[in-house]
Each structure stands twice: as structure tokens, then as C-alpha cells.
Amino acid sequence: QLQLQESGPGLVKPSETLSLTCTVSGGSISSSYYYWGWIRQPPGKGLDWIGSIYYSGSTYYNPSLKSRVTISVDTSNNQFSLKLISVTAADTAVYYCANLNDAFDIWGQGTMVTVSS
């Protein structure tokens, strides 16, 4: 059974870089069946797709975040990562990682990231 787990700092200062990692267990991140994605949810608001990556390293980003986002994959550790630069309070959210086939099938539990000085 595929499982995903987000990890990273829960507090980031404004203008700094948010970095999160998603560890995949119960399956290989190099599977040709899946893409892997990041989704976020600001407090009390809806879901927002951040971006996706294929195991080969091909990346796809939400146009509204594209200038600040980098998603990368580490096949040796079965992980993929999110970096968001120049964060502001508007980036405060629960960040989820998920596997993506025709839909976001399996989700991590989510990790709350607060942007504050």
C-alpha cells in the first residue's frame, strides 16, 4: 500500500525559502505509472495545485507560482521535494504531497507551514 509523508520546518520567516520533502513508502517513486504532486490549502480555504513531477525529473507548475517554485525528485531515497522562494504570509498553508495518475490518488497527511517573523 502506497504511503506518503511530508516533512519539513513548520515555521518560515518572510522572504526566506520554504523547503519540504515527501517520502514515499510501499512503492517506488520511479514507477512509470505515476506523477507526484504538491497541493496546498491556506487556513479555511480551498485546495490549490502547486506542481507535479515525473520520476524522470520533468516538472509542471501552477502558472501563478511558477516563478517561485522548484520541485525535484530523489529516486535513491524515494523522495520528492518542494522549494518555494521569497515566501510571504500568503504562503501560510497546509502542504500536501500526493501521487498523481488520472487524479490525486493517495495523499500524505499534510504539514502546516506558517510564514511569520
Partner 1 sequence: QSALTQPASVSGSPGQSITISCTGTSSDVGGYNYVSWYQQHPGKAPKLMIYDVSKRPSGVSNRFSGSKSGNTASLTISGLQAEDEADFYCCSYAGSSTWVFGGGTKLTVL
Residues at the contact surface with partner 1, assessed by CB under 8 A: 35, 37, 39, 46-49, 52, 60-64, 96, 100-105, 107-110
Q: How far is the CB of 110 from partner 1 (least distance, A)?
A: 5
CA distance 117 to 107: 30
DSSP secondary structure letters along 34-101: -EEEEEEE-TTS--EEEEEEETTS-EEE-TTTTTTEEEEEEGGGTEEEEEE-S--GGG-EEEEEEEES
Residue type, 114: T
What spatial distance separates the first Cα and last Cα of the chain, rounded to whole Å?
A: 39
Smallest gap from Cβ 109 to partner 1, in A, equals 6
CB of 103 to partner 1, least distance (A): 4
For the CB of residue 54, give the shortest distance to partner 1 in the complex, in Å: 9
